[in-house]
Amino acid sequence: MKNILVPTDFTVDSLILLKKAIEREEEKANFILVYGKSLPGSISELVFFSKGRLITALESKSFIEAKGILKNRYFSRINTLRTDIFYGGSQGAFNNFIQGSSIDSAYIPEDSKSLHPALKKGFDLMPYLKRSALDLHEVAYSNQTPVTVEETLAKLLIP
Amino acid sequence: MNTRNKIILSLTALTLGYILIFSGFIYFSIENYSYIDFYKRLEIRAITAAKIELEHQQDSDVLREIRQEFLEKLPNEKINIADISGVNTQAKAKKLGVPVYFIEEVLRNGKGFYNKQNTYFSGIRYQTHGKDYLVTVSAQNYYSTHHNAYLKNLLIIALLISILIIASFAYLFSKLIFRPVQNIIEKMREISTENMHLRLEVPKNNEELRSLTLTFNDMLNRLETSFETQKNFISNASHELNTPLTSIIGEADVTLAKERNTEEYKNALGNILEDAERLSKKTEALLLLAHTGFNGKVQKFELVRIDQLIMDAEQTVQKIYPNCQIHIDFELLPETSDKLNVSGNKELLLLAVSNILLNACKYSDNQEVKVALGVSNDHVVIIIKDQGIGIPEQEMPYIYDPFFRASNTGNYHGYGIGLPLTRNVIQMHKGVLSVFSKENEGTTVEIKLPVNQ
């Protein structure tokens, strides 16, 4: 089964990428939402660091809800859907990350400034993705204005 | 018991327990060590005594000197050397005043220890010139009686002092921790119905208390709004009911002022009937609102297929607004249909959804209204999005007030009861109704209902 990487910024909007990726894949596959965030700099924060807790803190209620909607909709197409975080800061680290998760291909937005990871203090994965040896599929998705306050499921449900 | 005392108690108990274990361990190790040490002293004395008494003169002289110089006399020290070849152990034990097993142990292992209260016995078996001797040394253990007792007292006193220190530390610590909470409590006490506009000061450097005060302030905001709503409701309601009544009275007054012909009477009565009907509609809506409000009454719930419900609502709305373009998007419907069931009252849910849909059509002047449905793990999500006039941002807190109508709705006919009614129905089904809007751009309504598991 293929492992598909989809970059995310933990907004409901960005799940449109995932939706399009699922639609473009013909077979059942494993989908991995990846977010770039550096590890904390202070030793005390590192001691109590946990990836699970970080992901829980990053995922908003609407985001989880939206993921649930997609999972229910494409029940037969999604084998697993998980969220992962890339901590590294170099191309080598990213290549290792891809190898470690044995990722086969990735879906990226046509407009590379559509994701806004800076909203939740993460970094952009686009440069790493573009320089990696991955099979990249571009998806028509553009969102120049980052979401500010409330997050609605409307954008996912009504394109 | 309040949390502060709990903290003081548990902190003290925890540290005390730790100190108890710690000092107990030290006390018993020292005591054990002093026993072993004392037995060793006795053994050395037994060996030297045996050598002095039983060996050649030359050797024993040297040893006697050494003993005098280095081995201090222990309290109540008694040395006994006995020839035991051929003597009954029991008789021997009786003579020395020691139990039989002690003598047997010495004979078996070559040495043995035994204590009677504070008198300690050490015995060795010494063989020389083909004869068997039993050498026993007894003395009082000064260390156990004095040093260990001193240590015991010292530890107990230290323990008592540390209780005081720890308790006062815990007290100060809890005071430090709870001072901001105390402050918040005092501030909260000040806020009552008369001064609902007051807000708590948000502390800068305490993450938990910061979120607590923010939550409190948020709650106060909502409370203030609902207080205002309550205040406004009566005046709004009486105004709304009064308008048609005034018009009925006015019409009747004018008509009765002088003699009129049949046509005029008919006209006047027609107007009065129209106003009365409006009044009746309003009171009906009010009654419905009162019925759906939270009053603890259990409604009859059944399984409702939400996609069917949306189709029904669309048909209802199309009858009233035939020109409205309703676009239903079922693209994100789940593959398995069993998640589409919601436990609820079908009529009320239909009323709620069609109310929202009616609003969307009414305020968007026949522009496209989009309806979408999705099901997550816990919720059925219905989105209704229009491109109508929207709601001004500063009026958003009041949209659920009965009879409230946004300032930009002058050209549209309505009572201001639909949205509060819908919210009541959704809340009755343990759902969430959220409205997002931008003036002149449109409104998005999101209805979340729990999936029947």
Contact A72 B373 (CB under 8 A): no
Give the mean model confidence (pLDDT) for residues A120-148.
84
Q: Which pLDDT belongs to residue B295?
A: 55
**Conformation bin of residue A39: beta by default, left when phi > 0, alpha when psi is -120 to 50:** beta
B212-292 and B302-450: same fold?
A: no
Whether B334 contacts chain A with CB within 8 A: yes
pTM of the model: 0.63
> Which own/partner pairs from B402-410 qualify as long-range (CB within 8 Å, at least 24 positions apart)?
B402/B233, B402/B236, B402/B237, B402/B286, B402/B289, B403/B232, B403/B233, B403/B236, B403/B237, B403/B239, B403/B240, B404/B232, B404/B236, B408/B439, B409/B363
Q: Could you tell me whether strands B78-83 and B119-128 are parallel, antiparallel, or unpaired per DSSP bridges?
A: unpaired
Name residues 270-329 of chain B within 8 A of A (Cβ). Answer: 329
ipTM of the complex: 0.81
User: Domain segments of chain A: what residues?
Assistant: 2-157
Contact A69 B332 (CB under 8 A): yes
Whether A90 contacts chain B with CB within 8 A: no
Residues of B in contact with A65 (CB under 8 A): 376, 378-379, 381, 448
Residue B7 Cα, gap to closest chain A Cα (Å) = 24
CATH number of B212-292: 1.10.287.130
Select the residue from B339, B371, B376 to test the A interface by mutation, using most A Cβ atoms within 10 A.
Answer: B376
Which CATH number among 1.20.1070, 3.30.450, 3.40.109, 3.30.160 corresponds to the domain B3-148? 3.30.450
pLDDT digits (tens, 9 = 90+) for A36-81: 999 988 888 888 899 999 999 888 888 898 999 999 889 889 999 9
Whether B375 contacts chain A with CB within 8 A: yes
| Tens-binned pLDDT, residue by residue, of chain B (453 aa) | 678 888 888 988 999 899 999 999 999 999 888 888 888 888 888 888 888 888 777 777 777 887 788 777 888 888 888 887 777 777 777 777 788 888 888 888 888 888 887 788 888 888 887 788 888 888 888 767 788 889 999 999 999 999 899 989 988 988 888 888 888 888 888 888 778 788 888 888 888 888 888 988 888 888 887 787 777 777 777 877 888 888 899 989 998 998 888 999 999 999 899 889 888 887 887 787 777 765 555 567 889 999 999 999 999 888 888 888 999 988 888 888 888 889 888 888 888 898 899 899 989 888 899 999 989 888 899 999 999 899 998 888 888 888 888 888 888 887 788 888 888 888 888 889 999 888 888 899 999 999 887
Q: Which fold has domain B302-450?
A: Heat Shock Protein 90 (3.30.565)
Q: What is the homologous superfamily of the domain A2-157 according to CATH?
A: HUPs (3.40.50.620)
Contact A154 B383 (CB under 8 A): yes
Residue A150 Cα, gap to closest chain B Cα (Å) = 8
d(CA B183, CA B406): 40
**Nearest-CB residue to B381 (from A65, A67, A71):** A65
User: Domain segments of chain B: what residues?
Assistant: 3-148, 212-292, 302-450
Whether the predicted pLDDT of A147 surpasses 70: no
DSSP string computed for B313-326: HHHHHHHH-TT--E
**Which residues lie closer than 8 Å to B425 by C-beta, 6 or more apart?**
B292, B348, B349, B351, B352
